């Protein structure tokens, strides 16, 4: 059995370097995850590793007090999700996203970004 | 995982779909040509009746399990109990607006078209229109192949968006043509052998099935490697994840089936084709039938594994659940942060209020250590807006260290790792980490 496993491993070894990913994970965001930006953004753009189902993918942005500061339903196009922001001031904001990949599996996560006062 | 009803709906649906498509492909490419050559109407009629029963049972099971799969998936997508998705319009949203739902609608139409044409294909008439056979075979292949859009093959970006579903479609059709046709083959073998005419028919059928089998096995191998490339991606992920290990069992069963098929092809088929001895031919036929039944059983286990794999996170990103690093100390706070560009394991010890030390290890997707030029760690207290940033220094073992961290209070902290990989590439990884009260 070990020889078979070794054989299969060797067979698949050339496949090792790869950047593909199944299920939709957050690839990058604007504003960047954990970043501090000087000017308040008008929207948050989330880019995922897979295409999303618009009907079941959402994003909410809240301020430090937990109040919603996003403009409602997120727009989904391919693997990006864009949520508009109300006019916001300096402070810490939390983005909570829920992504349903086209492969039927859900993922979710949160991150914060900060708007600097100066 | 075994308590998940979706697993059973998937298993039954895969098996039933393979069976329906397998019967059709077997009748069109193996049985009908063999019957046309033999002129033995009695055996053909007998086999047709049995295959019709198998096909209709498969059909009914495919419909019921397909409906269950749809309801369970819609409930998961809408994050609602299965009973509520009918009233809230979730089911219709899934059917009309998601790739999975549209694939299900297309497959329902294909199933209706199959149901309309199957009775003619399996009727007792001996000479059927080749057009009818081609159309039913295409419908059956599409019914099986469209399953590709129900799972992991869908959703990729770039080249993967085309190559992965295409490979999966071919994989499913080849599986139906081989694994789904094994049961029909045993039915045909069981009915043959009583006289010379039916033995001749069995010889033709065996020869044709072996061609279908070789083409299918070749297709399964190539497309299976493509799927593995996208869903597992590396040898460590194959060996160190549940997904990878289950896939290895599937590959082992596939190799077992290929080994049995090779015995059938090179020893028993040769024995069956020897015109000289009827006894030797009948003996070969009996062994072929037994081997086909064993292969079908192995195929059923493979289908059950496929059903399970679809509900599991693919190894390519599940790998981090099975760390290759040592155990986390009991008094430490630990978090694994995963992004496509890299992952970080952050250990804070002791993981309670007071002074502590942090160790950060960086990996890439293949579990190779990720080289960084610079690394800083920011820890943000539960209610604070801004955290404290600490520069980290790289130790000899490749891990990054931060000494003298001040953890002012217990609770849900936020840890942010900022990595400078090279002049242009930076990586920011953020996750919550729980700090316990001081003892």
ipTM: 0.78
Class of domain A19-115 (CATH, top level): mainly beta
Task: Look at residue B427 and tell me whether its pLDDT is greater than 50.
Answer: yes
Characterise B127 by phi-psi region: left (phi > 0), alpha (psi -120 to 50), beta (else). Answer: beta
- Chain A segment 34-63 residues within 8 A of B by beta carbon are 34-35, 49-51, 53-56
Residue B241 — very low, low, confident or very high, per pLDDT cuts 50/70/90? confident
Residue B219 — very low, low, confident or very high, per pLDDT cuts 50/70/90? very high
* B85 plus B107 within the same structural domain: yes
Which among B73, B93, B230 has the least Cβ separation from residue A20? B230
Å between B282 CA and nearest CA of chain A: 35
Count of domains for chain B: 2
Spatial distance between the Cα atoms of A97 and B22, rounded to a whole number of angstroms: 43
Chain A contact present for B132, CB below 8 A: no
Domain final position from B290, B319, B348: B319
Two tokens, residue B19: 């069976």
Spatial distance between the Cα atoms of B421 and B427, rounded to a whole number of angstroms: 7
User: What count of other Cβ atoms lies within 10 Å of the Cβ of residue B248?
Assistant: 18
Task: Look at residue A61 and tell me whether its pLDDT is greater than 90.
Answer: yes
pLDDT recorded at residue B326: 47
Domain boundaries, chain A: 19-115
**pTM metric for this prediction:** 0.76
- The residues pairing with A59 across neighbouring beta strands, listed in sequence order, are A97
* B120 plus B173 within the same structural domain: yes
Model confidence pLDDT, tens digit, residues B137-174: 999 999 999 999 998 888 888 888 899 999 999 999 99
Between residues A118 and B52, the one the model is more confident about:
B52
Chain B contact present for A27, CB below 8 A: yes
* B299 plus B335 within the same structural domain: no
| DSSP secondary structure letters along B355-412 | EEEEEEEEE-TTSPBPP-SEEEEEEE-TT-SS-EEEE-EE-TTS-EEEEEEEE-S-EE
pLDDT recorded at residue A117: 64
Chain A contact present for B80, CB below 8 A: no
* B152 plus B183 within the same structural domain: yes
Tokens 């990996």 identify what position?
B363
Contact A15 B97 (CB under 8 A): no
User: CA-nearest residue of chain A to B94?
Assistant: A55
The widest CA-to-CA distance across chain A, in whole angstroms, is 64
* B306 plus B386 within the same structural domain: no
Spatial distance between the Cα atoms of B27 and B157, rounded to a whole number of angstroms: 38
* B288 plus B403 within the same structural domain: no
A-chain residues within 8 Å CB-CB of B319? Answer: none
Region A37-52 average pLDDT: 91
Tokens 């000494």 identify what position?
B403
Instruction: Enumerate residues 6+ apart whose C-beta is below 8 A from B360.
Output: B344, B345, B346, B347, B375, B377, B392, B399, B400, B401, B402, B417
pLDDT recorded at residue B251: 95
* B118 plus B13 within the same structural domain: yes
Domain of B86?
Answer: 5-319
b/e per residue, A8-20, with b = 16+ CB within 10 A?
bbeebeebbeeeb
* B305 plus B375 within the same structural domain: no
* B135 plus B211 within the same structural domain: yes
Spatial distance between the Cα atoms of B302 and B296, rounded to a whole number of angstroms: 10
* B184 plus B37 within the same structural domain: yes
B-interface mutation test, from A12, A19, A22, most B Cβ less than 10 A away: A22
Report angle CA B269, B271, B276 to the nearest 5 degrees: 130
Contact B248 A5 (CB under 8 A): yes
pLDDT recorded at residue B291: 94
Tokens 């292949």 identify what position?
B141
Contact A103 B97 (CB under 8 A): no
At B277, which CATH number? 1.20.1630
Model confidence pLDDT, tens digit, residues B3-51: 789 999 999 999 999 999 999 999 999 999 998 877 667 888 899 999 9
At B359, which CATH number? 2.60.40.10
Model confidence pLDDT, tens digit, residues B59-100: 999 999 999 999 999 999 988 888 888 888 899 999 999 999
Region A47-61 average pLDDT: 92
pLDDT recorded at residue B27: 96
Which among B155, B248, B340 has the least Cβ separation from residue A19? B340
Q: How many residues does chain A have?
A: 118
* A36-37 and A106-115 beta bridge pairing: parallel
Domain final position from B319, B351, B376: B319
B-interface mutation test, from A1, A7, A10, A12, most B Cβ less than 10 A away: A12
Instruction: Enumerate residues 6+ apart whose C-beta is below 8 A from B130.
Output: none
Query: CA of B269: how far to CAs of B36, B149, B207, B213, B281, in Å?
Result: 20, 37, 7, 13, 9
Spatial distance between the Cα atoms of A49 and A37, rounded to a whole number of angstroms: 24
A-interface mutation test, from B90, B147, B155, most A Cβ less than 10 A away: B155
Task: Look at residue B355 and tell me whether its pLDDT is greater than 60.
Answer: yes
* B426-435 and A26-30 beta bridge pairing: unpaired
Domain final position from B275, B293, B319: B319
Chain B contact present for A112, CB below 8 A: yes
* B243 plus B335 within the same structural domain: no
Residues A23 and B313: beta-carbon distance below 8 Å: yes
* B280 plus B372 within the same structural domain: no
Contact A102 B99 (CB under 8 A): yes
Residues A92 and B385: beta-carbon distance below 8 Å: yes
């Amino acid at each position: 059995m070990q020889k078979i496993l070794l054989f299969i491993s060797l067979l698949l070894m050339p496949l090792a370097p790869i950047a593909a990913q199944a299920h939709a994970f957050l690839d990058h965001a604007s504003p960047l995850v954990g970043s501090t930006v000087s000017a308040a953004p008008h929207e948050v753009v989330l880019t995922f590793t897979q295409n999303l189902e618009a009907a079941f993918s959402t994003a909410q942005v809240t301020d430090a007090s937990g109040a919603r500061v996003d403009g409602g339903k997120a727009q989904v196009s391919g693997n990006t999700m864009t949520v508009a922001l109300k006019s916001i001031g300096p402070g810490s904001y939390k983005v909570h996203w829920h992504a349903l990949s086209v492969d039927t599996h859900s993922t979710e996560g949160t991150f914060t970004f900060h708007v600097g006062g100066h | 995982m075994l308590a998940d009803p979706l697993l059973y709906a998937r298993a039954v649906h895969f098996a039933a779909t393979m069976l329906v498509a397998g019967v059709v492909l077997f009748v069109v490419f193996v049985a009908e040509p063999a019957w046309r050559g033999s002129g033995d109407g009695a055996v053909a009629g007998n086999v047709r009746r049995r295959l019709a029963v198998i096909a209709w049972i498969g059909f009914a099971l495919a419909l019921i399990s397909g409906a269950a799969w749809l309801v369970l998936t819609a409930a998961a997508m809408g994050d609602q109990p299965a009973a509520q998705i009918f009233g809230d319009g979730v089911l219709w949203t899934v059917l009309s607006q998601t790739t999975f739902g549209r694939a299900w609608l297309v497959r329902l139409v294909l199933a209706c078209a199959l149901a309309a044409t199957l009775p003619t294909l399996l009727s007792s008439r001996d000479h059927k229109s080749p057009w009818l056979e081609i159309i039913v075979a295409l419908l059956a292949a599409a019914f099986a192949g469209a399953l590709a859009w129900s799972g992991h093959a869908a959703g990729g970006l770039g080249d993967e968006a085309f190559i992965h579903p295409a490979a999966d479609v071919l994989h499913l059709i080849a599986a139906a043509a081989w694994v789904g046709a094994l049961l029909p083959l045993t039915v045909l073998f069981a009915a043959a052998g009583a006289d010379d005419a039916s033995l001749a028919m069995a010889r033709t059928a065996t020869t044709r099935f072996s061609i279908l089998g070789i083409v299918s096995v070749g297709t399964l191998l190539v497309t299976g490697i493509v799927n593995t490339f996208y869903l597992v991606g590396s040898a460590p992920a194959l060996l160190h994840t549940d997904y990878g290990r289950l896939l290895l069992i599937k590959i082992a069963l596939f190799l077992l089936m290929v080994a049995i098929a090779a015995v059938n092809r090179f020893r028993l088929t040769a024995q069956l084709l020897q015109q000289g001895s009827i006894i030797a031919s009948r003996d070969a036929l009996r062994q072929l039938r037994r081997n086909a039944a064993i292969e079908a059983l192995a195929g059923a286990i493979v289908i059950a594994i496929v059903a399970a794999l679809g509900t599991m996170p693919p190894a390519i990103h599940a790998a981090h659940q099975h760390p290759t690093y040592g155990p986390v100390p009991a008094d430490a706070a630990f978090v694994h942060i995963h992004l496509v560009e890299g992952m970080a394991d952050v250990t804070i010890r002791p993981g309670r209020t007071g002074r502590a030390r942090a160790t950060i290890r960086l990996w890439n997707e293949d579990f190779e250590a990720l080289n960084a030029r610079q690394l800083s760690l920011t820890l943000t207290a539960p209610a604070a807006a801004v955290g404290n940033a600490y520069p980290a220094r790289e130790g000899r073992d490749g891990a990054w260290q931060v000494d003298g961290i001040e953890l002012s209070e217990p609770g849900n902290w936020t840890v942010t790792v900022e990595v400078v990989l090279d002049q242009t590439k930076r990586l920011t990884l953020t996750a919550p980490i729980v700090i316990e009260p001081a003892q």
